[in-house]
Amino acid sequence: MRWVLLLMALLLPALAQEGPPPDLPPEVFRIARELRCPVCQGESAAESNSGVAAEMRRIIAEMLREGKTEEEIKAFFVERYGEWILYAPPRRGVTLWVWVLPLLGLLLLGLGLFAYFRPRPLPKELLEEAERRLKEPPR
């Protein structure tokens, strides 16, 4: 009996955790998460409670039911709102830089680190000193 209670205490909060509302399939929210809510500041169409975001989710659900692909659904919104509606900037034109620059930065950083930590031959005086100490008889 005590075990059952313990299990329930552990499991119930997990069940209560927020998931997508049951009226729309999770696929809708997965696509909506990649689209901006047009009337919000920094919220996706999946998170926002605004009327426009709710309508966008309904449109996504309808289009999925019609058998449209994710690409087609995104294109539908880009057609109306422009590429601004996409959270991920397109990998071409000016916004290609957004994707390339971090890699370029990492590459430069790697090169810099390599140049900094590259094994260098020890200075001559140091080598001579080490040689001399080696030859010294142990005290």
Partner 1 sequence: MRGGLWLLLILALGGLFWWGMQRDPRELPSVLAQERRPAPDFALPLLPPYRAAWGETFRLADHLGKKPVVINFWASWCYPACYEEAPVLEAFWRRHRDQVLFVGVNFQDKELEALRFIAQFGLTFPQVYDPRGRVGVDYGVRGVPETFFIDREGRVLARHAGAVDEATLARYLEEALR
Q: Which positions touch partner 1 (CB under 8 A)?
A: 38-39, 51-52, 55-56, 58-59, 79-82, 84
Q: Choose between 56 and 64: whose C-beta lies nearer to partner 1.
A: 56
Q: Choose between 24 and 59: whose C-beta lies nearer to partner 1.
A: 59
CB of 51 to partner 1, least distance (A): 4
CB of 59 to partner 1, least distance (A): 7
CB of 13 to partner 1, least distance (A): 35
Q: What spatial distance separates the first Cα and last Cα of the chain, rounded to whole Å?
A: 76
Q: Which of 76, 61, 79 is nearest to 23 (CA)?
A: 61
Q: Choose between 87 and 130: whose C-beta lies nearer to partner 1.
A: 87
| Residue 132 identity | R
CB of 85 to partner 1, least distance (A): 9
Q: Choose between 2 and 80: whose C-beta lies nearer to partner 1.
A: 80
Q: Which of 51, 49, 77, 52 is nearest to 63 (CA)?
A: 77
Helix, strand or coil for residue 8?
Answer: helix
User: How far apart are the C-alpha atoms of 42 and 87, rounded to whole Å?
Assistant: 10
Tokens of 15: 């069940």
On whether the CB atoms of residues 85 and 77 are closer than 8 A, the answer is: yes
